[in-house]
Amino acid sequence: MGFKFQGFDFIQFDSLLSEDERLIRDQTRGFIEQNLIPIIEQCNREGRFPRELVRPMGELGFYGATLDGYGCSGISNVEYGLLTQELERGDSGIRSFVSVQSALVMYPIYAFGSEKQKEFWLPKLATGEKLGCFGLTEPDFGSNPGGMRTRARRDRDGYLLNGEKMWITSGSVADVAVIWAKLEDEEAEIRGFLVETDRPGFSATDIHGKWSLRASVTSGLSLQDVRIPAESILPTSGGLKSPLMCLSQARYGISWGAIGAAMSCYDAALQYAQQRKQFRNQPIASHQLVQEKLAWMLTEITKGQLLALQVGRLKDRGKAQFQHISMAKRNNVWMALECARMARDILGATGITDDYPVMRHMMNLESVKTYEGTHDIHTLILGQSATGISAF
């Protein structure tokens, strides 16, 4: 059944956007409506990543979109935010894929890589000819990445890598992995390495049985005596700060993406409530309790838009700090998950079927609430920012 998305703009939000910003959002919206919406429920059922969309998204400049040069689009952070909003309105898994390719693979190569690394990898990653993944999280270390056990040891004219990574988006489809490891002979300093996935000793195994992000690939990585040349290290990476800078990029995109998922749920609930009749042959949209839920969603999505836009404007001026991004990620994902739950409530039993996108968004957002810094970790980041005292 389903409904065609009607758009969302309660307080003339579009008047705050430039013509270019609206154009990128509308172009992305058109792509998603035409190419993803018709297939996403089937992909979700089958647990299939729609690989056929990889190159078309590359042609539209979705990957590494905020980077300059090397075949990248060089758009603003606000434009990129609006792009991720539309991607996640389609599906969190697709936005995750683009986020990883952009913020967690292309960005570290751009920020910490050598000129040779940039010239080789970035143009190929920008088109989708090559895919990447980001190996930070481990089976025993998620919120505490500094405890990682993966090690890099100098060996002859290069490095030998050993370790395990877990919950890695695009792991088994990637051509290159950005692996974070502790360098054994430099006081265990964390460094980034570019590891081609066809190197001996590297293996990726998909995680099955997921009830969330079913349309994206999630893998575990194993590195057993993986030998890489000296020039595979990201030369200016150093310490935990480097991967955390990458995560800040990704969290920023998530703060916008979650708004898209919330919009999708609100829109489905509104249109359903206007059509579904119950009691005195009246649409359930006429009932006070249903209107209260719609009013809550309408208000919270609008607040989320303003928060994401201000953080984006700050980011474009080089003034966004990690605690600003934490607030936007934490609030907007929580808000979107609450919207999904309320929308499911309004849809009643139909809300659990994939005739509508609501249950899929709800299950996806359960993961989004946890990854790239859990809701609770972002709470503590804000607490530390407010008090000057770290609670973790």
- For 164-206, the DSSP string reads EEEEEETTTT-SEEEEEEEETTTTTEEEEEEEETTSTTEEEEE
Q: How many residues does the chain have?
A: 392
Reported as type and span, the H/E element at residue 126 is helix 115-127
Q: Is residue 86 part of a domain?
A: yes
SS3 357: coil
- Of the pLDDT bands very low, low, confident and very high (cuts 50, 70, 90), residue 185 is confident
Is the pLDDT reported for residue 160 higher than 90?
yes
143-152, pLDDT tens digit by residue?
999 999 999 9
CATH code where residue 54 lies:
1.10.540.10
372 is catalytic: yes
- For residue 336, is it within any domain? yes
158-169 vs 176-183, strand pairing mode: unpaired
Mean pLDDT of the chain: 97
For the segment 307-320, the average pLDDT, to the nearest whole number, is 98
Q: Give CA–CA dist 130/149, Å, rounded.
A: 28
Domain of 163, CATH number, reads 2.40.110.10
User: Is 259 part of a structural domain of the chain?
Assistant: yes
Where does a domain end: 90, 107, 127? 127
Residue-wise pLDDT for 326-335, tens only, equals 999 999 999 9
Which pLDDT score, from 0 to 100, does residue 188 have? 81
In the chain, how many H helices and how many E strands?
12, 7
Tens digit of each residue's pLDDT (9 = 90 or more) over 225-251: 999 999 999 999 999 999 999 999 999
Q: What is the CATH number of the domain that holds 266?
A: 1.20.140.10
Q: Dihedral sign for Cα 367, 370, 373, 379, please.
A: positive
Tell which of 88, 112, 127 closes a domain.
127
Instruction: State in Å, rounded, how far the first CA of the chain is from the last one.
Output: 47
Name the pLDDT band for 381 (thresholds 50, 70, 90): very high
* Residues 259-283: tens digit of each pLDDT: 999 999 999 999 999 999 999 999 9
pLDDT tens digits, one per residue of 361-371? 999 999 999 99
Supply the range of the domain harboring residue 105: 13-127
Catalytic residue, chosen from 86, 300, 338, 372, is 372
% the chain with pLDDT above 90: 97
CA atoms 180, 116, 123, 19: torsion sign: positive
Mean pLDDT along residues 126-150: 95
Residue 327 falls inside a structural domain: yes
Q: Does residue 193 sit in the same domain as residue 273?
A: no
Rg (CA), the chain: 21
Tokens of 384: 């530390």
* Per-residue pLDDT at 1: 56
Q: What is the pLDDT of residues 170-183, one digit of tens each?
A: 999 999 999 999 99
> Torsions phi, psi of 225, nearest 5?
50, 50
pLDDT above 70: percentage of residues in the chain: 99
pLDDT of residue 257: 98
Residues 46 and 120 in one domain: yes
